[in-house]
Chains A and B, each alone.
Chain A
Amino acid sequence: MKDAGGGLSRRGFAAAIAATALAGPRCLLGQHQPPLVVGFLYGGPKNDLGYNQAHFEGKRALLSLPYVKAIDQANVVETVAAEESMRDMIHEDGAQVIFATSYGYLDPYVLRVARESPRVQFFHCGGSYREGIDPANLGVYFGYIDEVEYLAGMTAGLATRSGLLGFVAAKPIPQVLRNINSYMLGARSVRPSAGMKVIFTGDWVLPLREAEAASSLADQGADVLTGHTGSPRVIVQVAERRGIWATGYQFDQSIVAPHGFLTGAEWSWGVVYKRYVELIHAGESVSAGTIPRRMSGTLKDEFCRLSPFGPAVTPEMRDRVLAAKRELLAGQRAIYRGPLRDNRGREAIPAGKTIAVQDPVLDGMDWLLEGIQGDVAKV
Chain B
Amino acid sequence: MTTSLTRALVQGRNSLESIAIPVLAFAVSMVLFGGFCTLWGAPFWAVFGSIYRAGFGSWYAWQNSLVHAAPLMLCGLCTALPIRAGLITVGNEGAFVIGGLGAAAAGLATQAASPWVSLCCMAAAGIAAGGAWIAMAAGLQYFRGVNAVISSLLLNYIALAVMLQLVEGPMRDPQSLNFPASYAITQSHQLGRLYHSRIHLGLAFGVMAAVLSWVLIERTVWGMKVKIVGGNSRAADLVGLNSGWLILAAAFLGGGCAGLAGMVEVAAVQGRASHAIAAGYGYVGILVAFLARQSPLRIVVVAVILGAMLASGGALERDLDLPDASIAAFEGITFLVILASESLYGRIPWLHGMFRGMPQGNK
Contact = CB atoms under 8 A, between A and B. Distances in A.
B324 A75 contact: yes
A77 B179 contact: yes
A91 B315 CA distance: 11
Nearest to A104: B178
B318 A72 contact: yes
B170 to A, nearest CB: 21
Interface string A55-84: 000000000000000011111011111001
B53 A92 contact: yes
Given A79-B270, A88-B315, A73 B324 contact: yes
Contacts of B54: 88, 92
A103 B314 contact: no
A79 B179 contact: yes
A72 B322 CA distance: 11
Interface residues of A, number: 23
B317 A72 contact: yes
| Residue of A78, A89, A103 most packed against chain B (CB within 10 A) | A78
B318 A78 contact: no
A222 B325 CA distance: 39
Interface in B316-330: 317-319, 323-325
A73 B269 contact: no
A92 B270 contact: no
A77 B314 contact: no
Contact of A92 (B58, B276, B317, B324): B58
Nearest to A81: B276
Contacts of A71: 318-319
A79 B324 contact: no
Main secondary structure of the interface of A (DSSP, over half): helix
Contacts of B317: 72-74
Interface in B251-274: 269-271, 274
Interface string A86-119: 0011011100000000011000000000000000
A93 B325 CA distance: 20
B172 to A, nearest CB: 15
B179 A92 contact: no
A20 interface: no
B122 to A, nearest CB: 18
A78 B53 contact: no
Interface string B340-355: 0000000000000000
B318 A89 contact: yes
B178 A103 contact: yes
A88 B314 contact: yes
Contacts of B181: 79
Interface string A239-257: 0000000000000000000
B64 interface: yes
A189 interface: no
A75 B271 CA distance: 21
A92 B319 CA distance: 11
B61 interface: yes
A296 interface: no
Contact of B64 (A24, A73, A88, A103): A88
Interface string B56-94: 011011001000000000000000000000000000000
A78 B270 contact: no
Nearest to A107: B175
Nearest to A79: B276
Contacts of B318: 39, 71-73, 88-89, 93
A24 B323 CA distance: 25
Contact of B179 (A24, A85, A104): A104
A83 to B, nearest CB: 10
Interface residues of B, number: 25
B179 A80 contact: no
B274 A79 contact: yes
Contacts of B64: 84, 88
Contacts of A80: 269-271, 276
Contact of A74 (B271, B319, B324): B324
Nearest to A85: B314
Nearest to B178: A104
A233 B212 CA distance: 54
A347 to B, nearest CB: 31
Nearest to B175: A107
A84 B276 CA distance: 13
Contacts of A92: 53-54, 57-58, 60-61, 315
Interface in A11-39: 24-25, 39
B50 to A, nearest CB: 10
Contacts of A93: 315, 318-319
Q: Which residue, A25, A77, A89, has most C-beta atoms of chain B within 10 A?
A: A77
Most chain B CB within a 10 A radius of its CB, from A25, A77, A92:
A92
Given A72-B318, A73-B314, A79-B274, A91 B60 contact: yes
Contacts of B314: 73, 84-85, 88
Interface string A193-220: 0000000000010000000000000000
Nearest to A40: B318
A72 B181 CA distance: 26
Contacts of A89: 318
A71 B270 CA distance: 25
B280 to A, nearest CB: 12
Which of B58, B271, B314, B324 has most A Cβ within 10 Å? B314
A91 B64 CA distance: 11
Nearest to B50: A92
A103 B317 CA distance: 22
A373 B310 CA distance: 49
A161 B325 CA distance: 45
A215 B181 CA distance: 33
B179 A78 contact: yes
Nearest to B177: A104
A123 to B, nearest CB: 18
Contacts of A74: 317, 323-324
27 contacts: A24-B58, A25-B53, A73-B314, A73-B317, A73-B324, A74-B317, A74-B324, A75-B324, A75-B325, A77-B179, A77-B276, A79-B179, A79-B270, A80-B269, A81-B276, A81-B279, A88-B64, A88-B314, A88-B315, A89-B318, A92-B53, A92-B54, A92-B61, A93-B318, A103-B178, A104-B177, A204-B178
Interface of B: 53-54, 57-58, 60-61, 64, 177-179, 181, 269-271, 274, 276, 279, 314-315, 317-319, 323-325
The 9 closest A-B pairs by CB, nearest first: A79-B276, A71-B318, A91-B60, A104-B178, A75-B324, A78-B179, A74-B324, A88-B314, A73-B317
Given A78-B178, A92-B315, A104-B177, 12 more contacts: A39-B318, A71-B319, A73-B314, A73-B318, A74-B317, A79-B179, A81-B276, A81-B279, A88-B64, A93-B318, A93-B319, A104-B179
